[in-house]
């Protein structure tokens, strides 16, 4: 079918708009996919934290933190190497008489994304076999409040605050 010459600009405009819708839908799909990938990468970071501790792999532990990271589980410590050294010192100074295997659990993450930054609140537990019967028991329960950053294409801890007991309320702006 041949279009009258007068309708050609209108047909071109309709086709351009239809193509624009496909582009918008593709961009929205790509943004949703990126959010899902970011959330999954952050969940994996939380799991990798416990796994590095369980293996006592301090170089791997340090690699989870951004260059200017802060770790707050008592007095704040800054920088991946200092954070790793502090943890290694703490674990070495308090040799555990807990039987093996002992391991960390990470659960109930609540993640908020904001481009290349994110925040998360999650819970954790440390378990070990019960010396009296071999059944696994929870040794301690903790909460984590995290500020995260995408650094060199990977999600890392920018600030990790660790505590026990009730999670303190989040400070709000008045």
Contacts of 125 (CB under 8 A, 6+ apart): 104, 105, 107, 138, 139, 140, 141, 142
pLDDT in tens, 12-26: 555 555 555 566 779
Query: What does the pLDDT read at residue 100?
Result: 66
Query: What does the pLDDT read at residue 49?
Result: 95
Average pLDDT of the segment spanning 16-40 = 81
**Dihedral in degrees, nearest 10, Cα atoms 67, 164, 144, 46:** 90
Q: Does residue 2 surpass a pLDDT of 70? A: no
Query: What does the pLDDT read at residue 174?
Result: 43
Alpha helical stretches, state H, the chain: 8-55, 58-62, 80-93
Residue 109 is classified by DSSP as E
Indicate the pLDDT class of residue 44, thresholds 50, 70 and 90. Answer: very high
Percent of the chain, pLDDT > 70?
Answer: 78
pLDDT in tens, 53-109: 888 899 999 999 999 999 999 899 999 999 999 988 887 776 555 566 778 889 999
Number of alpha carbons in the 13 Å side-chain half-sphere of residue 39: 12
Query: What does the pLDDT read at residue 14?
Result: 59
Domain ranges (residues) in the chain: 7-163
Indicate the pLDDT class of residue 115, thresholds 50, 70 and 90. Answer: very high
**CB-based contact 111:118 (threshold 8 Å):** yes
Report how far apart the first and last C-alpha atoms of the chain are (Å, whole number).
66
Q: What dotted CATH number matches 7-163?
A: 3.10.450.50
Instruction: Indicate whether this model's pTM tops 0.85.
Output: no
Query: What does the pLDDT read at residue 90?
Result: 80
**CB-based contact 73:144 (threshold 8 Å):** no
CA 43 – CA 46 distance, rounded (Å):
5
């Amino acid at each position: 079918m041949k279009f009258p010459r007068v309708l050609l600009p209108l047909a071109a405009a309709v086709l351009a708009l239809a193509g624009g819708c496909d582009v918008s839908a593709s961009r929205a799909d790509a943004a949703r996919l990126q959010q899902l990938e970011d959330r999954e990468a952050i969940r994996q970071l939380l799991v990798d934290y416990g796994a590095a501790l369980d293996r006592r792999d301090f170089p791997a532990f340090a690699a989870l933190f951004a260059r200017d990271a802060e770790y707050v589980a008592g007095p704040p410590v800054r920088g991946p190497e200092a954070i790793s050294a502090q943890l290694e010192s703490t674990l070495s100074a308090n040799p555990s008489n807990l039987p093996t295997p002992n391991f960390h659990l990470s659960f109930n993450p609540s993640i908020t994304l904001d481009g290349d930054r994110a925040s998360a609140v999650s819970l954790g537990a440390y378990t070990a076999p019960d010396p009296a019967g071999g059944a696994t028991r929870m040794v301690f329960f903790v909460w984590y409040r995290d500020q995260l950053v995408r650094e060199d294409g990977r999600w890392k801890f920018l600030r990790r605050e660790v505590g026990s007991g009730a999670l303190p309320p989040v400070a709000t702006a008045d």
